[in-house]
A and B are shown apart, each in its own frame.
Chain A
Amino acid sequence: MAVLVIADRDGDTVRDSTHKTVTAALKLSGDVDILVIGQGSKAAADAAAKIAGVRKVLLAESAGLGHQLAEAVEATVVGLAGGYDAILSPATTDGKNFMPRIAAKLDVAPISEIIEVVSKDTFVRPIYAGNALETIQSGDAKKVITVRPTSFDPAGDGGSAKVETVAGADAGKAAFVSDEMVKSDRPELGAAKIVVSGGRAMGSAEEFHAVMDPLADRLGAAVGASRAAVDAGYAPNDYQVGQTGKVVAPALYIAIGISGAIQHLAGMKDSKVIVAINKDADAPIFQVADYGIVGDYKVVVPELMKALG
């Protein structure tokens, strides 16, 4: 049984979510290959080749693949699928976009966002916004799976796999127009060791940034937000932590002015230590918090900055 992992490429390297997906893949088979897709991705392929336990790295390049367009990725991966019993990708927005398309072309049922590998054909995945977990057994000969990165430890470095070039397909009827990526010097939300998240209590975008940014910079943390804060326009959409946004599991999660709606809890409840600061002592967030402070963030956050020194 051989497994293909589609890398989450980031410029000249691959993101940590790739290492975590390799960990899941190694539970299925000792023969794990990585596919790096893009344009000008040789450096990223070399980075992927260093991941421990990887057999070889395949590099596919084309204009359509540069922006991970689903049509191009699907055509490329389906061309390679014959050699593999399972195809895995991290459950990023890219993976969620192209994996079901690949599955349909191969006539298999996709398995979305697994959090555990029970055996070679049995997996655990959250349903109902994380309020239930289903254990499912796949009857398909070939499996197409997305992996929730926060549920797996990253595979280490130390490998020296060979890099092979394979044919990259084009996107056909879809074309890339533009990107508008949020630039930040802070760690990426999904990979940060500490996340500080703000809620609707902030009242405005100015206040949100005035409160959250200095605290995040002091802690070397990523900034997150509740859906309510994003919907109100206080924070950009890619800050959203929750079932419909990003799922995070940092060592420390600090929720500030967040009441703790079910869908938010689904996105952060696997964090190692949770801190909640909220003036409502009955807010549901306190039911999952290891440490809670009942108080107005306007008072507590400046005190916290002082206590951190």
Chain B
Amino acid sequence: MKVLVPVKRVIDYNVKARVKADQTGVDLANVKMSMNPFDEIAVEEAVRMKEGKEHHAAGTVDEIVVVSIGVTQAQETIRTALAMGADRGLLIQSDADLEPLAVAKLLKAVVDEEKPDLVLLGKQSIDGDNNAVGQMLAALLDWPQATFAGKIVLANGKATVTREVDGGLQTLSAALPAVVSVDLRLNTPRYASLPNIMKAKKKEIAVKAVADYGVDTVPRLKVLKVTAPAQRAAGIKVADAAELVSKLKIVGVL
């Protein structure tokens, strides 16, 4: 079967985002960019499926296609996924920061062309924090969805997915084709080896434009301003537990 993995180029998770002085957004100039960490987990899981590692049966997955929507440099993000073990890539070039609805519509067009059996993607990007694209893509395709996956088993035309939900875990089964969004504890992504990085340079990345897909990507939301959250003032150090308890009683929280 074929797996499609959408990936996003975002600010590196170790970098603290700083708001621009003119309140138009977050300053990304000269900031390290990386693959969205949740997407990296999706790529890793797809590669493990193809390799037949852990509980995945060998031969379940035979092709992994990675797609990114973004600036030209997002090719580097796709290249990272190819070095991890994906087979080929597609960049839909866009200088505009597209909303989840537009991204889902573009991905639907890609799914219509590629006809994957499974779309595997991160549950949210760490920049917009919307947690929406996977669910929206599933809706547009009329496919079942399984979000926040902590375990995925593919068998008998179904994905049986254990989801990380409030209060514990929920397992559901979704008939394939389906959209599965992954959570943090699904796996620990590998570092690509040097030979695989070299091999990835020869893998194909097709480049297309948003206009090639003829979908409506006009923004629905207008960003009025982006501001820094109120800073909490540092408090005081207390000498010991007894002093702490008496302070907490004075402020009325004990």
Contacts and interface: CB of A to CB of B under 8 A. Distances in A.
Contacts of A135: 223-227
Interface in A248-295: 251-252, 262, 269, 272-275, 286-294
Given A238-B164, A238-B167, A293-B241, A104 B101 contact: yes
A237 B223 CA distance: 34
B253 A273 contact: yes
A77 B149 CA distance: 24
Contacts of B171: 176-180
A128 B129 contact: yes
Contact of A181 (B132, B167, B223, B244): B167
Contacts of B135: 70, 97-101, 104
B99 interface: yes
Contacts of B133: 100
Nearest to B158: A175
Contacts of B174: 173-175
A300 B245 CA distance: 12
A93 B131 CA distance: 10
A172 interface: yes
A291 B175 contact: no
B234 interface: yes
Nearest to B245: A307
B245 A132 contact: no
Contacts of B240: 293, 300, 303
A127 B253 contact: no
B173 A139 contact: no
Given A128-B11, A307-B242, 13 more contacts: A67-B170, A93-B148, A96-B131, A97-B135, A103-B101, A109-B220, A132-B26, A133-B226, A171-B144, A173-B144, A179-B169, A182-B167, A300-B240
7 contacts: A69-B172, A100-B136, A109-B100, A113-B129, A133-B229, A136-B222, A219-B254
